[in-house]
Amino acid sequence: MRKPVVGEILFAVWVGGRKLNEKSKEVIVTKVGRKYFYVSDLVWEPRFHIETWREDNNIGFGNWKLYETKQVYLDEVEADRIYQTIKSNCFDGWNNKTKLSLDQLRRIQQIINE
């Protein structure tokens, strides 16, 4: 990931386990160091790794994940949804031969090989 700039607007998404009323919001980068950066407008001022943009909390995964824009986040959500649909409809279980024709499998193989 690229290094954020002070004053830049990013999109934060709540990925923590505890319930929080606000699940996503725009935030502003307030400080940038060599290893970490900070953002405003969250419940607290967490620090994020510059390399991964994941919150640093010293215990497992953080509660917030940052994206460059809301659209980047929505694209990731859509890609995950499409992948899960394909996986569950086509490749779920031991016997999936009846779900797709040979022609469909060949077209999928062509797309994968691109």
62 falls within a domain: yes
63 and 29 both lie in a single domain = yes
17 and 57 both lie in a single domain = yes
45 falls within a domain: yes
Over residues 49-107, the pLDDT tens digits come to 999 898 887 776 778 889 999 999 999 999 999 888 877 777 766 665 557 778 988 89
Alpha carbon of 98 to those of 86, 89, 107: distances in Å?
Answer: 15, 11, 16
Over residues 39-48, the pLDDT tens digits come to 987 777 888 9
77 falls within a domain: yes
- pLDDT score for 20: 60
56 and 26 both lie in a single domain = yes
Q: Rounded to an integer, what distance in angstroms lies between the CA atom of residue 52 and that of residue 3?
A: 10
What is the tally of structural domains in the chain?
2
3 falls within a domain: no
Domain carrying residue 32: 9-68
Does position 34 have pLDDT exceeding 90, yes or no? yes
pTM as predicted: 0.76
Per-residue confidence band for 1, with pLDDT thresholds at 50, 70 and 90:
confident
Q: Rounded to an integer, what distance in angstroms lies between the CA atom of residue 15 and that of residue 62?
A: 8
16 falls within a domain: yes
89 falls within a domain: yes
Task: Please report how many Cα atoms fall inside a 13 Å half-sphere around the Cα of residue 1, on the Cβ side.
Answer: 17
96 and 51 both lie in a single domain = no
45 and 95 both lie in a single domain = no
